[in-house]
Structure 1
C-alpha cells in the first residue's frame, strides 16, 4: 500500500472485506461467531481478492450495546492471529486494549469508529482508519443534525489528519462515516461530495455495504433484509470508487473486484 500520509492519487483501489465475529451485527450477526467458521470466511475473502480483512468483535450498528473488552478479545484474537498469516488484517474496535492486543497478534491497521486511537496506531507503526460519527452506536441515529454535513465532516477529518501527523501515524485513511449519526439525506450529501475530501490529500475509505439507506432509495424499501441489498451496495461502491474513494469496505468482495478488473482491462485497451 501507499504511504497514506502522501497523495491520495497514488493509491490503487483496495477492497476491505468485512468479517463480523459477533452475534448481533446488522447484516450477518451470528454467521461467524464460531472461530473456525470466521477463519474460513476470512481466508475466502482474501481468496476473492480482498486487500484487507477487517475483523470486528463488537457491533457498531445503530442501537448496538457495548461489549466488554474481555468478550471482544475472546471473539477476535484467534481469528486475527490466524488470518495475519494470510494477508493484511485490520481490527475494527474503539477500545485501546483490544486494538493493542490485536496489533500484537498480527493486525496492522486499526479501523476506529471513535477516531480516538491514533496514538495507539502510531505506537505500533500501524495504519489508522479515523471515522467521523455523530454520537455513539447506542444513540447515534436518534436525532442526527448538521448545519452543513459535508463541511462539518470535512473539518472533523481535517482534524484527524492533523492528529495523525502529530502522533506520527504511518498510514492514515479517513472515513466520512456513512450511516453513523446521519440521515438518508446526510449520507447522500456525503456521497455526492466525496471529491471534496480529496483536498485532505489522504486515502478516503467508504463503507456503504448493505446499509438501510440504500434500501430506502430503491424498490427494496426499508424492510428489505440487509443481505438483499447487494445490488444497491455494488452501485454505491462503484459510485464511491469513481468519486475519490481509495478503499471500500464490503461484505461481498467478488463483485467489486470484478468491477475493478474490468475497469483495468478497459484502460489497458484504450488506444490499442
Structure 2
C-alpha cells in the first residue's frame, strides 16, 4: 500500500460490500442501461478500501503502483469539450455516465468542468466548481473512485474534500502555484501534464528542438518543483500532454519514443482518446478528417501500444473496448515494445 490515504475521505471507497437499509433517508438509486447503483452518504468509520475495476481490493493510491494498466474514464461536465461537450451537463446524466464508465472497467472516473481543447474559452473557478462538485459527491457516495481534471487549486481542494482521490492537472502545476500545497496537504496522487500555456495560446507554442527530449526535460522540471514543494515522489504521475502545444508529428514522435518518458521513473498517463491527430490520420477520400465518433479503433490501438511501451495508464472516453483490448494484451503475456522511430501529420485536444 502506498503511504497513507488520510486525505481522500472514506467516500472515495467502494460501498459494494455493505448492507443497505431499505428506509435509509440518504439512500439514492441510479440506473444507466442495465447498471443499477444504490448510493448513500458514506459511513465515515469505514476503512479506506476500494474494490478496483480489475477486482483487486486496496486503496485508490495503490493505483499509482498498479502492475495492471490503469484505465481512466473521461467524464466532461462541460458544454464545449471537443468530443462530448454538453452531453453530461445535467447532473443525473453525468452521474449515470460515471456509473457506466465504472461498470465498463474504469479504475478512475476523471471529472472535468472546464474544456481545455485548443481555442476554448476559460471559465471562472466558481463555475467550474459548481459543475464538478455535485457530480463528484454523487459518484464517490456510490463508491466510485474519482479524479478531478482541473488546473485550479481552489477547485481541487473543494473536490478532494468531497471525496475525489486524484488531481489530474493539465498544467502540471504551472497554472496555479497553490496547487502543490493542496496536493501536498491532501497526500493524493497528482498527474503532472506537460503544458506550455492555456488553450488560446497553445497553438503558437508548438516549437521544439527535439520534442521528446524537450518534453522530458520540462516534465522533469515540473517533478522537481513538486518535490521541492513537499509533494511525495510516490504521489507523482506524468503525462506527455498529447495535443497540447504539439502538432500531430509531435504526438506520433512522443508515442513512438514513449519509453524515454517512462525512463523518468514515474508512472506515465497516456491520453490520445479521440484527439484530432487521429482524425487527421484517418481521412476520407476527400481528405476530410475522421469525426470524433469514428476514432475509437485508433484510440484503442494507440492506448494498447502505449501500455506495451510502458505507460502506467490510459485516459479514454470508450472504457469498455479499451478494457477489452487490454485484457487481450494481458492474456498474451503483456508483450512489450522496443523504442522505434516516428512519422505522420495533424493536431490534438482534450
TM-score normalized by the length of structure 1: 0.92
Query: CA RMSD for the aligned pairs?
Result: 2.2
- 1:2 touches 1:11 (CA, 8 Å); kept in 2? no
Structure 1 residues 22 and 211: alpha-carbon distance in aligned structure 2, compared to 1, 3 A threshold: same
Aligned counterpart, 1:159: 221
Shift of 1:222: 5.0
- 1:206 touches 1:245 (CA, 8 Å); kept in 2? yes
Larger RCO: Structure 1 or Structure 2 (Cα < 8 Å, ≥ 6 residues apart)?
1
Shift of 1:108: 1.1
Aligned counterpart, 2:158: 101
Aligned counterpart, 1:168: 231
TM-score normalized by the length of structure 2: 0.72
* Equivalent pairs, count: 267
For the pair shown, the structure with the greater C-alpha radius of gyration is 2
Structure 1 residues 143 and 158: alpha-carbon distance in aligned structure 2, compared to 1, 3 A threshold: closer
Is 1:45–2:109 an aligned residue pair? no
Aligned counterpart, 2:75: 19
Spell out, residue by residue over 1:148-190, the C-alpha distance to the aligned partner (whole angstroms, 9 max, x if none): 1111100111122223333233521100000000001111111
Measure, in 1, the Cα distance between the counterparts of 2:333 and 2:2.
21
Is 1:123–2:185 an aligned residue pair? yes
Spell out, residue by residue over 1:94-139, the C-alpha distance to the aligned partner (whole angstroms, 9 max, x if none): 1110010010011111100111133321111111000002221122
Give the unaligned 5+ runs of structure 2.
Answer: 4-59, 174-178, 335-350
Give the unaligned 5+ runs of structure 1.
Answer: none
Measure, in 2, the Cα distance between the counterparts of 1:144 and 1:189.
13
Measure, in 2, the Cα distance between the counterparts of 1:171 and 1:11.
16
- Structure 2 counterparts to residues 31-42 of structure 1, below 5 A: 31-42=87-98
- 1:213 touches 1:222 (CA, 8 Å); kept in 2? no
Q: Where has structure 1 moved over 4 Å in runs of 4 or more? A: 1-6
